[in-house]
Structure 1
Amino acid sequence: MRYKASALAAALAAGALLLPAAPAAAGQFHTTPGPVDDFDCDGIGDLVHPSSGDARGAGSITVYPSSGDGQTITQNTPGVPGSAETGDLFGQRYASADFNGDGCDELIVSSPGEDDEAGMVTVINGSPNGLVPSQSVAYTQNSPGVPGGSESLDAFGEMLAAGTTTSGQAYLLVGSPGESVGSRPGAGSVYYLRGGVWRAFNQDTPGVAGAAESWDHFGASIAASDRHFVVGAARETLSGNSDAGQVHVFDHRIVGGIPDPLATISQDSNGVSGTAEEDDHFGAAVSIVSFRPSPSAAIGALVAVGSPGEAIGSVEETGMAHLFAVTPTGKFSEVADVNQDTGGVADSTQEGDAFGTELVLGIEDGGPTATPSTAILTVSALWEDYSDEDWGGAVHVFTDVKSPGDGDLLFKGEDGPLRGSTSVDTLAADAEYLHLGNYGAYYSQVTWTELLGG
């Protein structure tokens, strides 16, 4: 088998928590007014490109403004805390938001391999002249105000999400999936920064469903919108099935000292298709947008969940994706589930395709709130075959979220937006573009107008 979910599980169990560099916060949809990643305040989004860096795995990140030369930043750049060391993975994840209110986004860069995979997150200020490394601030779990303590293999910064709430306040979410909770290694925790206050929570925190267990990896996937966010624990054991997986949906409102937990969803939940099984990895990928299911309904959330290890019939690790509508009070219902054998979906299931490895929700009209007619779901099948011998990955763009097979645009290998990419391991979306990344080495963006117009 080529993926896959079982191979990933083995790697994680061996302590190889860190994944290839990703060009954006996976599953992130930006609903902040104005352009995304606008570090120089010119009203035009800047392009961000990470790379492996000079030292093996040290990492670097380059920002290309709308005009002028690119700016490459490493941990050896004057003013940036720390130093470039093998395995730091500076740039493993990045996000952006305007934390100081000056109209320029800050660049948030993670280096989850820092200090024997304890992890670090660096915030680099933006300005009308671009990023200002001399104004960088780094956070670890040893930083004042950050709960807990920094320990090997915590992987603080393995996942990031950032944005602005409906009240206009910037927030940052940091996943630490290797965090030990009590004596349980790899249970995982999430750290939330808003209004200058750090908060931490895990599955042992009052109000959060479930229990922190060894190797749950709570926080290994995170996505956020202006109203809600979702946290995945793809290695959660359910009914004795290891790595079955589940996800938790939160509101940005602070209740009981943490963001308000709204819903917990797994394939053992009532009304969810399928069954929680070993190595499904439900929640390996997540995405979320604000959602109004009907004109008279309150605004809730539309949550997409990838389950790349899901078996379809007797075909193992072919993968599945689910869509859920979550109300402001936490009630959820499954809008649809989709796999490559769903009626109308282009292609067909094959062993190890890993459909659902990455996914992202977009909004066709560019607005801040999706409806059933404007929501778009994009799903990658990381190990999709071209033939019996070659693999190259594929991306499905579903324009009808209630009946995905009625609106499937399929791109394989060198088709259209993949432009020669051999696989797509990262997806992101904003009001204008679908962004596609390939292990941090290739990055393209396609306007929704281009994509939906063929």
Structure 2
Amino acid sequence: MITTSVRAGFVTVALVLGGLAATPAQADDLPTDECPAGYRADFNGDGFADSVVADPYATVAGHTQAGRLVVLYGDADGRVGEGAREVLTQGADAIGGGPETGDRFGFALSVADIDCDGFTDVVVGTPYEDLGSTVDSGWVQIVWGAASGLGTGGVARGVSKRDFGAPIRANDQFGYAVDTQEDWTDGATGAPNAYVLAIGSPGSDVNGHDDAGWVGVETAVDGGSNRFSVTQDTPGVAGAAEAGDRFGAAVAVGQFRGATGTIDVAVGSPNEDVGSVTDAGSVTIVQDIYDEPTGAAYDQNSPGVPGVAEAGDRFGRSLADIRVASTSHLAVGVPGEDIGSARNAGSVQLFTATGVPLNTLSPRTGLTQNTAGVSGVAESGDLFGDRLAFAPPTTGDRVTRLVVGVPGEDAAAADSGLVQVFPITNLDDETTLRQDSSGVPGAVDAGDRFGASLAVVTGPTEKALLVGVPDDVDHPGGMVNVIPFSGGFERRAWVPGQGGVPAGGSRFGATLASAGR
């Protein structure tokens, strides 16, 4: 339980007017960014690639599902996360709060160098945190990186809905989804503290509509910051707040529709009703957030989007984005999509945005396991697209890849799961990974749900795909498979109690965070 609304350690200027921020200068007009260059996967600034793995269901000090983070530092061998390890929980001096039953600290994660000091920071969502007597209202903390490690760079900054001028209520689930970008477009924003932070609160009630959903956005340029909130009742935003929409269940910060050099936020509403079709789902692009935000909505009835909105599709359950050169890619997970008679087989819808001076977000391919060139067959309960991640191009590996989690796949056993990897410019050249794939640690067992979480971490010498298997049968505390895309290193796994990874896991790997340029 948290009894204070904001912890010391960061000063902001909140300008909240009728749900929208007062208009700051457009990002393109701001001074040149001076944030130090480096990899956004380096919590202690030593030049080696680090990772953070959350176990939001871990027992801490006797409190079940209090949650913890395991930090895996890189070292001189060049591999991601193969150096020292440490555990972070609420209650530590630099974290604040206190571990309590059901908090689920680490339910959502995002990483960025938010304070522009050369050390990667971690945004931690704890959507089931009680604030005072308000149950499950949710809380977000920014845990600072520093030379001596994550969580040693000053007291973590706490954020709640109060900081956006909004009342906190029971079951808001503030922090259910988080995403952040720092140092936007390498010069489009000013220094210091150039970042955008988006926080989803899908359990928020809006104008009397239960669980309609709400999103808070914090933007910072040139040392100051602004905050505003967005719902489907915000003027200029498409749609209308309705009970059960869960607007904010997924968020992604990127550049999708707005002017070049500005920033947008994609917001998933997986339980949105499209017309009379229940829980079909939609995605709203809140664009030009440095100017006067507006929002355009997309669903499976939008022009150019393949398929049709159907009950229970859950379009927008997951989101992933990447910008390569002047093109942005947005992937939308639709895990409840029925393919023929196969219920909840799942699909992924791709969009691209390109062009100067304005971007147009255009529907691209819709992927399923029945798409020509894709391995496997769409089957009931596969949940293709339940989790998504992009792997960026890097030196020595210039391929941009989309990674799709299929945790309900019946591979060699029911719900054992798999992951499929698609080069974005050649979707036919897909690779399938399972726990019985060559070199992948572990064994295929019913209920493993391999691919229940995904991330890609890029360091100076290795780019690795992280695949969470929090329900692994052979490792009841959970595990994470580490599958290199580059660097020439072996496939390996992180398992609580093995290889220096701290013991005590419950569902280790339930949440992962992508990082790195």
1:283 is aligned to 2:376:
no
Name the residue aligned to 1:214: 311
1:37 is aligned to 2:123:
no
1:64 is aligned to 2:138:
no
1:122 is aligned to 2:216:
yes
> Aligned partner of 1:336: which letter?
T
Contact 1:171 1:192 in 2 (8 A): yes
Name the residue aligned to 1:12: none
Name the residue aligned to 1:440: none
Among 263, 269, 294, the alignment partner of 2:371 is 269
> Aligned partner of 1:204: which letter?
N
Among 436, 440, 446, the alignment partner of 1:351 is 446
Among 72, 77, 85, the alignment partner of 2:169 is 85
TM (normalized to structure 1)? 0.76
Q: CA deviation at 1:357?
A: 0.4
- The 5-angstrom pairing of residues 42-441 of structure 1 reads 42-51=117-126, 52-54=129-131, 55-66=134-145, 67-77=153-163, 80-97=164-181, 101-103=189-191, 104-115=194-205, 116-126=210-220, 135-163=226-254, 168-195=261-288, 196-226=293-323, 227-253=328-354, 259-291=361-393, 301-313=400-412, 315-327=413-425, 332-365=427-460, 375-386=463-474, 391-400=476-485, 407-416=490-499, 418-420=501-503, 421-423=505-507, 424-431=509-516
Q: CA deviation at 1:375?
A: 4.6
How far apart are the structure 1 equivalents of 2:119 and 2:459? 20
Contact 1:245 1:281 in 2 (8 A): yes
Q: CA deviation at 1:143?
A: 0.2
Name the residue aligned to 1:370: none
> Aligned partner of 1:382: which letter?
P
How far apart are the structure 1 equivalents of 2:497 and 2:285? 39
Identity rate of aligned residues, in percent? 29
How far apart are the structure 1 equivalents of 2:394 and 2:351? 17
Contact 1:97 1:170 in 2 (8 A): no
Question: Which ranges in structure 1 are unaligned for 5 or more consecutive residues?
Answer: 1-18, 29-35, 367-373, 433-454
> Aligned partner of 2:122: which letter?
L
Name the residue aligned to 2:67: none
> Aligned partner of 2:172: which letter?
D
Other structure's SS at 2:430 match = strand
Q: CA deviation at 1:418?
A: 5.0
Is the alpha carbon distance of 1:81 and 1:248 closer, same or farther for their aligned partners in structure 2, counting shifts above 3 Å? same
Deviation readout 1:298-323 (Å, 9 max, x if unpaired): x774111111111123x100000000
Other structure's SS at 1:169 match = coil
Contact 1:60 1:72 in 2 (8 A): yes
Q: CA deviation at 1:336?
A: 1.0
Q: CA deviation at 1:65?
A: 3.5
Contact 1:89 1:114 in 2 (8 A): yes
Other structure's SS at 1:97 match = strand
Q: CA deviation at 1:275?
A: 0.5
Name the residue aligned to 2:38: none
> Aligned partner of 1:279: which letter?
G
TM (normalized to structure 2)? 0.67
Q: CA deviation at 1:60?
A: 1.0
Deviation readout 1:313-350 (Å, 9 max, x if unpaired): 3x1000000001122xxx52233101112233222111
Q: CA deviation at 1:69?
A: 2.4
Other structure's SS at 1:214 match = coil
> Aligned partner of 1:267: which letter?
Q
Deviation readout 1:377-425 (Å, 9 max, x if unpaired): 21111201246xxx11111011148x9xx93211222335853332221
Deviation readout 1:143-185 (Å, 9 max, x if unpaired): 0111000011111000011135895432211101011111101
Q: Point out the structure with max Rg over C-alpha.
A: 2
Q: CA deviation at 1:428?
A: 1.4
> Aligned partner of 2:220: which letter?
G
How far apart are the structure 1 equivalents of 2:300 and 2:221? 38
> Aligned partner of 1:311: which letter?
D
Deviation readout 1:30-70 (Å, 9 max, x if unpaired): xxxxxx53443434333322331322210111223444322
Contact 1:93 1:160 in 2 (8 A): yes
Other structure's SS at 1:76 match = helix
> Aligned partner of 1:63: which letter?
I
> Aligned partner of 2:335: which letter?
A
The alignment of Structure 1 onto Structure 2 pairs a total of residues equal to 381
Q: CA deviation at 1:75?
A: 2.2
How far apart are the structure 2 equivalents of 1:129 and 1:189? 35
> Aligned partner of 2:238: which letter?
P
Q: CA deviation at 1:230?
A: 0.8
Contact 1:229 1:288 in 2 (8 A): no
Q: CA deviation at 1:23?
A: 5.0
How far apart are the structure 2 equivalents of 1:170 and 1:266? 30
Contact 1:146 1:198 in 2 (8 A): yes
Contact 1:21 1:91 in 2 (8 A): no
